[in-house]
Chains A and B, each alone.
Chain A
Amino acid sequence: MARSSELLVLPIALPIAAAFLMPVVANVQASLARWLGIAVVVAALGVAAMLAVDIAQSGPLVAALGGFAPPLGITLYADGISITLLIALLAGGLLFWAASPGDNVRSHVLMVLLMGAGSGLALSGDLFNLFVFYEITAVASYGLVAGRGSGAEAGAALRYLIVGTLGSSLALLGIALVYASTGTLNLADIARLAPERLAGVTGMAAFLLLVLGFGVKAELTPVNTWVPEVYATASARVASLLAGIVSKLAIVIVMRIVVLAFPGEQARELLLVLGIAGVVAGEFAALGSATLIQALSYSSVSQLGLVAIAFAISGTAGVAAGLALALHHALVKPAFFMLAANWRGPIDGLAGAAKATPVAAAVFVFLALSIVGVPPLPGFWAKYLLVTAALAKASPLVLLAIAVVLAAVVVEAAYMFRIAVALYGQPAPERSGPAILRGDLARATLLAAGLAVVTLTAPAVLDAIHRMAAVASDRDAYIAHVLPERGARAALSVSVGVDQRTERSIP
């Protein structure tokens, strides 16, 4: 059967090409350029859908660019997770198109660029390529955060840029270390060599640098300090994209690096510690937040901390839990931001919002219930997967993580329902509750409806996630897919390497 590997490049190439074309076209006809951008993203989404069907039927796709066979050339790799994130990115981009028709074409270009680079992040199978796409994504998001360039937006964007660039420099340093140790940048090749070459101090240092580097976008502690400021300043759609989807792309990269290049326990412990710190920091910071958007920002930090904890747990169960959490958050958080965009100001001032727009308040409560993790909503199953996965690996640190996760649920409920109680409170006599834009409400309701659908189809969805996680967590399979001719050798050396590694790791 013919595989559609060749199509893999399209979701990346089309938008990037369009991004360069659009300013030119805009010179002729501005609206044409805008429509071109949207059309390209729609086309990319169509391609992604085709790819998804193919992958669901016959497993991961690999594409070698320029005809160089791996590990020499640049490889694109797509499995269930990548394609899910790709679709989420493109669909999310369309839903939260962060530029309105009246805007300068620049913001449209940035959106298209973000789509293209994000697709690259989802599909790339090459470490340096990842870095490049990461930087393009970052630049596009700085531009989007800067928006129309008011002082606050520019300031937030600049401060974000400084943190982001620092992060990417660290990531590049990490990549250099990896390259120095293994002599290759192809992820599959790195995976093949990792047990021998990356288990030592250098490898761990590289991992530390990579995690800190990619952690900026993945909102990992301690490089997530930009989060509250940017989300509070940028437009709600940008915040939705960054918190909902781009962060997931970054954290999945971290997962890939952990699974493929650093399968040892040490790296996982490091990620676990960062995850725990993120959960604790995010939840506690959110607890006393003054505004809704602030609470949501911190909640986003803690949710990504949860994902990090999940990805730090080895095996399919961990990846599945992380994936479930990530996808759930990708569905829920944008909807929250849509509501929060209209409910600005102190939480206390939100009293009467439920009376003004009952649907919005109901959506909020529904989303809050899910994010807190109330059965039978999807959020519960995600957290349940996390706890069960973690409990299977009962080390003291993991037990601590479980305790933190469970306690975090309570803290999460504390601030979420403090807000919900405020929404349903009586407004001050002279004012009515805040109103809400119809478009925002529609988007939030759409996502909530999606959540409801997932609730009803939870068994099937969880099965699909499990299947994807099984593929993504299988290092040998990845190597075999990308490097078919070296597969057997790789498997052999890997098993030997693992043995050595385990022997060494026992103190």
Chain B
Amino acid sequence: MSLLDILFLGALAVALAMALLGGTRPAGVIATLSYAALLAVLALMEPLLAQSNAAIASSVKFQIIGEEIGWSMNGLGWFFALITVAAALFASWFSSGQWGAVQYDMRRQHVLLAVNVFAMLVLLSSQDLLGLFIGWELVSWASFAMMTQRGGAAARAAYRYILYALAGAMAVLAAIVIIRAHAASFNFADARMAVAALPSATKWTVVALLTAGFGVKMGLLPFHLWQAPAYSETPGASSAFLNAISARMGLYALIVTLLQVIGTDVLTNLSVQFIWLDARDIIMWLAAVTMVVATFIALMQTDARLLLTWHGIGQGGYMLLGVLIASPLGTAGGLMHVMNYGIYQAALILSVASVMHRTGTSDLDRLGGLITRMPLSYVTMLMGIIGLAGLPPMNGFVSKWMIYKSLLEGREPLLLALAFVTTLGTILSVYKLIHNIFLGQLRQEHWEIREAPLSMTVPMLLLGAICFVTGAMPGLTLQLVDRAQAAIGVPLLAHHLGGVTLATGSLNMLWVVGTMLAMMGMGAVIFYLLGGRHRAVHQYDNYAGGHFLSADLRYHFSHEFYPGLARVIGPWYRGWIVRAEASLIRLSDIIGHAWRGSFDAGITPLYVMAALVAGLLWVRSAGGLP
């Protein structure tokens, strides 16, 4: 029984335990401890993976229609598994106290979380294409179950998701079957050899199918429409889990297929004539466009959860960019961003969840001023948004910096510019987020709100703290990334605790963060020690051009927060993809109606006559006989 078996069994055991105990009070604590135990198992796997760079195999395997399916986890899967289990840990910690107590379906949430973890672990330990596909479908349906649990709008969003996911899965299936038709087995190695020998048109097909199929889960344009509503309609803790890691399964699968099975050399050799682009460039551009578009859609959202989930889509683009550059720096940056993103996004979602827990809404136009009531949630969100915006000293900055550097080294200035513009858009939208929720005027109905209980704030703050620590000491994360990089087969990136040293400009976060802290200390000295005492005043003691402010007067600038920008870029929000989707649905509706109308036994003789005439004509012409 290998460690991987223990991991699988552990995940299943959690699901079982939650099915039995999920409704009881200590369920959240039990789940949290179990995930901690799973994390420990993962930690035990690390030395094994580091020693031999080999995969840890599971002893479960079976044969079907001549194919052998087995599971083994390599460094890449291990890296993602680490994030998965950690995300589950924090999600169940968050729900272990008051938050879970007020949910009416906490047992189901616990079970589904465990099932999701199990499905993801299965996917992350796939060692061949068929196993990858099976794991992929498991993950898709598990997250469908998770998203749909609330019914109503959530069910609607989940339904949309599953259609997209299934369409993607079918594309993937087609690609896998094509590869299998040319390869000796489903093994990645065999598949790689087979792909290299394929004719160029088939290669294009395979690449397109795989990118589209797995891209659906990542929310790659134009398959992104499902993601934001689906993730944001899920209850808080589960939503944090989904946001942190679920969409990254698509990235994992893309890394496995594009980098390991197909290989960047094949991708770069697939060139399009006349536009100087190859397959890799096209996917990278797709990623970059996803990044920009999703971020600027996020900018226009008026719901905190939607805003964050739209950002999730955009951030996926960064990761894909970094990974596809396929240099040590790029892959390290991309993979590191997966982890960093998971941390700060979970913190942000949990923070919004605690705000929702107290206020009952996440509508950005109906909140404000909560900083005085929920300071800890505010601090979490502050750390989170600094990470999301990619500003120092949080971890998001380091991974983004590495991706930028790798884009520079790969001489992709336009992609880099798009990445920068995305960051700018992110800063704008996260400020809107924190401003509209926590800053500004406190509404009268939120006067008596209290901070969320410790069971919620502690995991949140811990995530925020991790965000800061891994920002100041990126070497910690980079060590984990090493395992994944080794598994992909990319040369390892030389790094130290503070960052990386490169000939073309280095980054030492220890000094950057140290300087920031020192300078802020100096700022604190200048501010607090010099000058007169300050006194906090009531929020209505505010300069409003001589106007008297009062509770019934909304004096919080929140709706349409960026009017100037909206005037310029507003006309670009045409909703082309939404409309394309809607017309597709209309079309299928009309076709369906027509077909249903055609099912009338009274018309059958006519059909038969037509079929006979057409068939006989076809028989004659195709038969080639006189």
Contact = CB atoms under 8 A, between A and B. Distances in A.
Interface of A: 159-160, 162-163, 166, 170, 200-201, 204-205, 208-209, 212, 222-229, 266, 269-270, 280-281, 284-289, 294, 298, 369, 372, 374-376, 380-381, 384-385, 387-388, 391-392, 402, 406-407, 409-411, 413-414, 417-418, 421, 424-426, 458-459, 462-463, 466, 504, 507
Contacts of B65: 381, 384-385, 459, 462-463, 466
B363 to A, nearest CB: 23
A374 B137 contact: yes
Given A288-B589, A410-B163, A208 B619 contact: yes
A163 B605 CA distance: 8
Contact of B588 (A227, A284, A462): A284
Contact of A387 (B177, B607, B622): B177
A421 B625 contact: no
B611 A212 contact: yes
Contact of A204 (B141, B180, B623): B623
B591 A162 contact: no
B70 to A, nearest CB: 14
B148 A424 contact: yes
A365 B558 CA distance: 44
Interface string B175-214: 0011011000000000000000000000000000000000
B51 interface: no
B607 A225 contact: yes
Contacts of B155: 421, 424-425
A458 to B, nearest CB: 6
A375 B152 contact: no
Contacts of B63: 459
B611 A222 contact: yes
B602 interface: yes
B545 interface: no
Mostly, the B contact residues are helix
B133 A208 contact: no
A445 to B, nearest CB: 20
The 8 closest A-B pairs by CB, nearest first: A222-B607, A285-B595, A204-B619, A406-B170, A159-B601, A287-B592, A288-B592, A208-B615
A413 B612 CA distance: 34
11 contacts: A160-B601, A201-B625, A208-B616, A222-B608, A269-B622, A281-B599, A287-B589, A387-B173, A417-B162, A459-B63, A463-B65
A227 B595 CA distance: 13
B575 interface: no
Highest count of chain A CB atoms <10 Å: which of B596, B610, B612, B620: B596
A233 to B, nearest CB: 11
Given A228-B599, A285-B595, A417-B159, 20 more contacts: A160-B601, A162-B601, A201-B625, A204-B623, A208-B615, A222-B610, A225-B599, A228-B596, A266-B619, A266-B622, A285-B599, A286-B592, A298-B596, A384-B65, A387-B173, A391-B178, A392-B181, A425-B152, A459-B64, A462-B65
Given A162-B601, A166-B608, A458-B64, A201 B163 contact: no
A200 B623 contact: yes
Contacts of B552: none
A222 B156 CA distance: 35
Highest count of chain A CB atoms <10 Å: which of B148, B173, B591: B173
A1 to B, nearest CB: 31
B529 interface: no
Contacts of B148: 421, 424
Nearest to A216: B604
A225 B595 CA distance: 10
Contact of B137 (A375, A392, A459): A375
B596 to A, nearest CB: 5
Given A227-B599, A287-B592, A421-B159, A426 B170 contact: no
B151 interface: yes
B167 interface: yes
A288 B594 CA distance: 11
A425 B151 contact: yes
Interface of B: 62-65, 133-134, 137-138, 141, 148, 151-152, 155-156, 158-159, 162-163, 166-167, 170-171, 173-174, 177-178, 180-181, 588-589, 591-593, 595-596, 598-605, 607-608, 610-612, 615-616, 618-620, 622-625
Contacts of B158: 421
Given A222-B611, A223-B607, A385-B65, A507 B624 contact: yes
Contacts of A162: 601, 604
Highest count of chain A CB atoms <10 Å: which of B588, B593, B615: B615
Nearest to A458: B64
Contacts of A418: 159
A287 B407 CA distance: 46
Contact of A166 (B181, B592, B604, B620): B604
B316 to A, nearest CB: 22
A270 B615 contact: yes
B623 A208 contact: no
Contact of A388 (B162, B181, B589): B181
B33 to A, nearest CB: 30
B139 to A, nearest CB: 11
A374 B138 CA distance: 8
B604 A225 contact: yes
Contacts of B181: 388, 391-392
Contacts of A413: 162-163, 166
Given A208-B615, A374-B137, A388-B181, A426 B152 contact: yes
A166 B602 CA distance: 12
A285 B596 contact: yes
A417 B588 CA distance: 16
B64 A426 contact: no
Highest count of chain A CB atoms <10 Å: which of B138, B171, B608: B608
B611 A226 contact: no
Contacts of A374: 137, 141
A201 B618 CA distance: 10
